[in-house]
């Protein structure tokens, strides 16, 4: 196996960000990719106007790129926020307002994976209260995802970079996945296995793959240290992706790394051009 046997997509919220949003799908296509993913692109609003949604869909369609992953509204990304759904008050309300908007946009593009970032702990707020709110909102999100034939993704981040985020291990994220599935009975909540975040947490990534590959709905990669392209750090990414394939995962692998001090179009020299277009 190897890199050439994987199904890669490009995260347009961390790569090609030197370009305006609507130019990024075409840039990804020019680099040879046919699939992309996005964090919620409108960080200032969970409910952009229909014209903005239509413009992004047109950019994706015109470029011949398929959207395969989309975050629900998660606050300021990149920035200090790590999600909104467990944050009481305005942010939780904004997340709820976004659920159907994001699901409908995903459906219009054929996207079948929606990522719901959990949100930071809030000083002075009972963690149990936040967790109860999170479950309520994740249930709503799972039902919206099910309506369009999509999975709901729950992601573990890493403690060094996200010290207030409570899901900083694979077991913590899996526990939330299980709670959501138990509450909905839909079974469409899945683990987003981000190899960079797991490695930053010091987890045994091979062990996580062996334990949870069958519960994984999406994979993201970046090398460590540095969150750069494969080969810029010390992670055995090709080996780990082979382990995922051997464990039965045949889904998308999102390229969620920083291009470094070069244009994004030059940050894919590790991947043969023939391996960039995926069905």
d(CA 262, CA 68): 26
Phi, psi at 86, each rounded to 5°: -105, 5
Catalytic annotation, pick one of 37, 203, 243, 256: 256
3-state secondary structure of 253: strand
CA 138 to chain centre: 15
Closest CA to 157 of 130, 117, 189: 117
Residue 208's H or E segment, with its range, is helix 205-212
**Residue 155 a catalytic site member:** yes
Catalytic annotation, pick one of 155, 203, 238, 243: 155
Phi, psi at 8, each rounded to 5°: -95, 145
Q: Are 89 and 30 in contact (CB under 8 A)?
A: no
**Residue 256 a catalytic site member:** yes
Residues known to be catalytic: 155, 256
């Amino acid at each position: 196996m190897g890199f050439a046997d994987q199904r890669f997509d490009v995260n347009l919220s961390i790569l090609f960000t030197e370009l305006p949003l609507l130019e990024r799908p075409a840039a990804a296509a020019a680099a040879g990719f046919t699939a992309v993913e996005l964090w919620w692109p409108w960080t200032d609003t969970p409910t952009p106007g229909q014209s903005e949604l239509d413009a992004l869909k047109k950019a994706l369609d015109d470029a011949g790129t398929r959207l395969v992953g989309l975050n629900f509204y998660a606050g300021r990304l990149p920035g200090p926020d790590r999600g909104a759904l467990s944050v009481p008050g305005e942010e939780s309300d904004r997340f709820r307002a976004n659920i159907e908007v994001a699901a409908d946009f995903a459906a219009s593009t054929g996207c079948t994976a929606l990522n719901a970032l959990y949100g930071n702990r809030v000083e002075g707020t009972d963690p149990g209260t936040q967790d109860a709110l999170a479950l309520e909102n994740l249930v709503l999100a799972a039902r919206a995802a099910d309506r369009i034939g999509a999975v709901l993704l729950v992601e573990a981040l890493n403690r060094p970079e996200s010290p207030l985020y409570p899901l900083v291990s694979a077991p913590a994220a899996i526990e939330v996945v299980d709670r959501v599935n138990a509450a909905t009975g839909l079974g469409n909540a899945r683990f987003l296995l981000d190899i960079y975040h797991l490695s930053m947490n010091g987890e045994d990534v091979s062990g996580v793959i062996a334990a949870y590959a069958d519960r994984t709905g999406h994979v993201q990669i970046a090398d460590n240290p540095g969150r750069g392209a494969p080969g810029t750090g010390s992670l055995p990414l090709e080996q780990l992706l082979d382990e995922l394939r051997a464990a039965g995962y045949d889904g998308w692998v999102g390229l969620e790394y920083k291009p470094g001090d070069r244009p994004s179009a030059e940050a894919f020299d590790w991947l043969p051009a023939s391996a960039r277009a995926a069905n």
